[in-house]
A = this chain, B = another copy of it.
């Protein structure tokens, strides 16, 4: 059901015109005359009214506003599916009682480093490895990733440790090669509304980690999940990684309230990336613990053996020792909220 608010002094003729328009779209209506405004209730299943049709209704003379009651996403909604979605990757479950930890460098830089980091994060308790082979960079002059070579190093690190791999796709043309090497496909923040890429990952049968866009509302984020799910792939997890605000003291503003809010709105698992969320080494551990307390199902944390030489995100990468310490510190927090890590 939707509501259409009319401008004051809208003529009877105009109202009839609006009603006719709505009825021509197969919708039933119900007019209520208030003291200040006349309102048209649109009855029945209005979920098929697209945003474009809503815009067109707004364009009709006499219409002041359209208030939508129906949520624009369906498959992603908690109304659609009451129980939590659990995504199992080689037996490791994201969205269950155990909080999963995805760790690794921002970019895959070389074989030795990748294997070395993978072994160290595994020893510390991480359950997935991450690393970028195709890197979205604000500058064309920056290191853009090793491409398939990087994917091979990731696969090797995975084989040595038994940890499944998370890596990012930037271009639909890379789908085949990425499918060969990864266990979870990551959609980065800058591609959250790259709708063609969303449709593409919606058509394959690997879980998708969908990062929130820098200035994306939670509703838009769920709509992007809906894009993927509408193509048949229902294994989507949502990753909060900080939003852009006026505050510049941190790289982004990590919106942890998104975690419990999403748990209400959707059945999909929620991941938190404190590394990108704050972008400052000393803040990663407290924010990781806060994310656990807020109810995150998984964390994704950047780890590098030599941040001073990292080809990207050195500033926000934990050394393996600090990462191991954080893993220990998160355990009692997880227990305190009825989870384990």
Contacts and interface: CB of A to CB of B under 8 A. Distances in A.
Contact of A254 (B70, B248, B257): B257
Contacts of A37: 1, 69-70
Interface stretch (A93-101, A149-157, A193-201): A193-201
A218 B194 contact: no
A289 B282 contact: no
B217 A215 contact: no
Interface in A8-46: 8, 21, 30, 32, 34-37, 39, 41, 43-45
Given A137-B195, A246-B215, A291-B290, A143 B34 contact: no
A326 to B, nearest CB: 12
Nearest to A142: B50
A277 B257 contact: yes
Interface stretch (A111-119, A158-166, A169-177): A169-177
Interface string A228-258: 0011000000000001111111100111110
Interface residues of A, number: 113
Contacts of A47: 36
Given A44-B34, A253-B253, A52 B143 contact: yes
B1 A36 contact: yes
Given A34-B43, A217-B248, A249-B217, A56 B310 contact: yes
Nearest to A223: B138
Tell me the number of copies of this protein: 4
B282 A260 contact: yes
Contacts of A195: 136-137, 140, 170, 190
Interface string A299-311: 0000000011111
A180 interface: no
Interface of A: 1, 3, 5, 8, 21, 30, 32, 34-37, 39, 41, 43-45, 47-48, 50-52, 55-60, 67, 69-70, 72, 79, 136-143, 170-173, 190-191, 193-196, 198-199, 214-215, 217-220, 223-224, 226-227, 230-231, 243-250, 253-257, 259-261, 264, 277-278, 280-283, 286-287, 289-295, 307-317, 329, 332-333, 335-337
21 contacts: A21-B308, A35-B45, A36-B70, A50-B142, A52-B311, A55-B310, A59-B317, A136-B193, A137-B195, A171-B196, A215-B246, A243-B246, A253-B253, A254-B255, A254-B256, A287-B294, A293-B293, A329-B336, A332-B335, A333-B337, A335-B336
